[in-house]
Amino acid sequence: MIERIGPAQHLDATIEVPGDKSISHRALILGAIARGRSYIGNCSPADDVESTMRCLRDAGGWVRAFGRGRVYLDGSGAGATLRTPDGPLDCGNSGSTMRLLAGVLAGHDLNAVLDGDASLRRRPMRRVAEPLRAMGAEVATAHGGTAPLEIQGHRPLHALEWRPEVASAQVKSAILLAGLAADGDTVVEEPLPTRDHTERLLRMCGVDVGIDGRRVTVTPGDPQPFGLRVPGDVSSAAFFLALASARQGWRMRCNGVGLNPGRTGFLDVLIAMGAEIEVEEGEPAGGVEPVGAVTVRGRDLHETVIAGELTVRCIDELPVLAVIATQAHGETEIRDAAELRAKESDRIAAVAHGLRALGGACEETSDGLVVTGPSQLHGAHLDSHGDHRLAMAWAVAAALAREGDCHIAGAEAASVSFPGFFDALRHALS
Ligand code: S3P
């Protein structure tokens, strides 16, 4: 599907974005294996989250979804809920579904194959296969360490101490979820801190989780059932907030979004570039996940450097931040972001190519991008490469163009995390 978007004249709007994708995956998985009835409200409508729900059901999970993101789940404990599915579990485009479920399935006495679309079949899976093997599960990958993954679970798994080479919340979460069904405490020590939704939700479920800097320890046990209203997805809000930041006089407010510090790096980047940001904190979701309203007011932006821990804290927002950097004075550098090449597309190559088509100045490095601004963007033919975050980043670029419409091919990919994104954008700009 091709979406056509032209230059925006003005932006002054308030929106509520759908439920958080990362938190929804975890809540569904924990609700499915918790002993007893759990309830989730405002669960994300994203295609990726649908994939998690489908896989859980196909592996024998009890999951009932009703309108407006209400989901009931019932389970029988870690390692005791799921069974061998009739066929391969289809994770669609979702890396979180594949990696997190690999960890859960590994602790059950079952045999399951996790598969996905062409993009997911290109993504690295050795990073989860290796620790799960070390815990006693058999995990076979395709040649090259990619999906499909065939898992022969083992109950109980062996406790493990693991130091992943890459900073990945999905890898950490897979090991911690497997650790629930292990014979002792499991430890993950990350090279850099990543989003800690799994740790927070495990604690919400009464699981013993110790945190000591970058070292996380989980004690085996069954999660307790819970009720959770999922906050709005700050990564979906990011496209609107970033757009408002780039023009003096523009304003955008997003209500009720999750403010987990592992996810709000892009706000720190926008502040460093000169945007004005106001955060009003509300009541934490489930007592564990910070929530609030964020208002961004646009300013004349200037360059910044995104590196190290900050890169990890805004890993999913780097494409849209690169778009914003075309509007900032000076040279903005994104470093330490080699992981971007292993996302739903090679986001470094695709962003550099697209920004140049728009009239921006952008150089690719091995682990990042250098964007020089300000540039007057113009209409262009752009491609999502089947990647939701690129589809939405290009929509932001189209709105910031000074002349000409942009045609975004593969725009339907946005529904992987934000069904209705293009309607919401048009509404905000009207
Ligand atoms: C996610 C972790 C990140 C992120 C992805 C969602 C999660 O991936 O890019 O969109 O929910 O844990 P990695 O763990 O591969 O860095």
Q: Are 351 and 369 in contact (CB under 8 A)?
A: yes
Using 50, 70 and 90 to split pLDDT, how confident is the model at 377? very high
Q: What is the pTM of this model?
A: 0.98
- Spans of all domains in the chain: 2-18+231-429, 21-229
Using 50, 70 and 90 to split pLDDT, how confident is the model at 178? very high
Residue 217 alpha carbon to ligand 1 centre in Å:
20
247 DSSP 8-state letter: S
Ligand 1 atom, smallest distance to 195 CA: 12
Using 50, 70 and 90 to split pLDDT, how confident is the model at 134? very high
pLDDT of residue 316: 98
Which fold does the domain 2-18+231-429 belong to in CATH?
A: UDP-n-acetylglucosamine1-carboxyvinyl-transferase; Chain (3.65.10)
Does 395 sit in the ligand 1 pocket, CB within 6 Å? no
Reply yes or no on domain 21-229 having CATH 1.10.287.130: no
Q: Are 186 and 159 in contact (CB under 8 A)?
A: yes
Does 236 sit in the ligand 1 pocket, CB within 6 Å? no
Backbone angles phi and psi of 182, in degrees to 5: -100, 170
Share of the chain above pLDDT 70, in %: 100
Using 50, 70 and 90 to split pLDDT, how confident is the model at 404? very high
Q: Which of 71, 90, 70, 74 is nearest to 82 (CA)?
A: 74
Average pLDDT over every residue of 228-238: 98
Using 50, 70 and 90 to split pLDDT, how confident is the model at 48? very high
pLDDT of residue 273: 98
- 144: Cβ contacts below 8 Å, ≥ 6 apart: none
pLDDT of residue 150: 98
Average pLDDT over every residue of 306-333: 98
State which amino acid sits at residue 420: G
Using 50, 70 and 90 to split pLDDT, how confident is the model at 270? very high
Average pLDDT over every residue of 142-170: 97
- 125: Cβ contacts below 8 Å, ≥ 6 apart: 98, 99, 102, 141, 145, 146, 147, 149
Using the structure block, give the residue that is written with the tokens 């799921």.
82
Ligand 1 atom, smallest distance to 26 CA: 11
Using 50, 70 and 90 to split pLDDT, how confident is the model at 6? very high
State which amino acid sits at residue 339: E
Average pLDDT over every residue of 369-392: 98
Q: Whose CA is nearest to atom 10 of ligand 1?
A: 316
Average pLDDT over every residue of 25-48: 98
Q: Whose CA is nearest to atom 9 of ligand 1?
A: 316
Residue 337 alpha carbon to ligand 1 centre in Å:
13
Q: Are 322 and 355 in contact (CB under 8 A)?
A: yes
Using 50, 70 and 90 to split pLDDT, how confident is the model at 296? very high
Using the structure block, give the residue that is written with the tokens 């048009």.
426
Same fold, 2-18+231-429 and 21-229: yes
Distance of CA 75 to the CA centre of its chain: 25
Q: Which residues are catalytic?
A: 316
Q: Are 418 and 15 in contact (CB under 8 A)?
A: no
Does 22 sit in the ligand 1 pocket, CB within 6 Å? yes
Q: What is the average pLDDT score of the chain?
A: 98
Does 46 sit in the ligand 1 pocket, CB within 6 Å? no
Average pLDDT over every residue of 258-284: 98
Using the structure block, give the residue that is written with the tokens 């799994």.
198
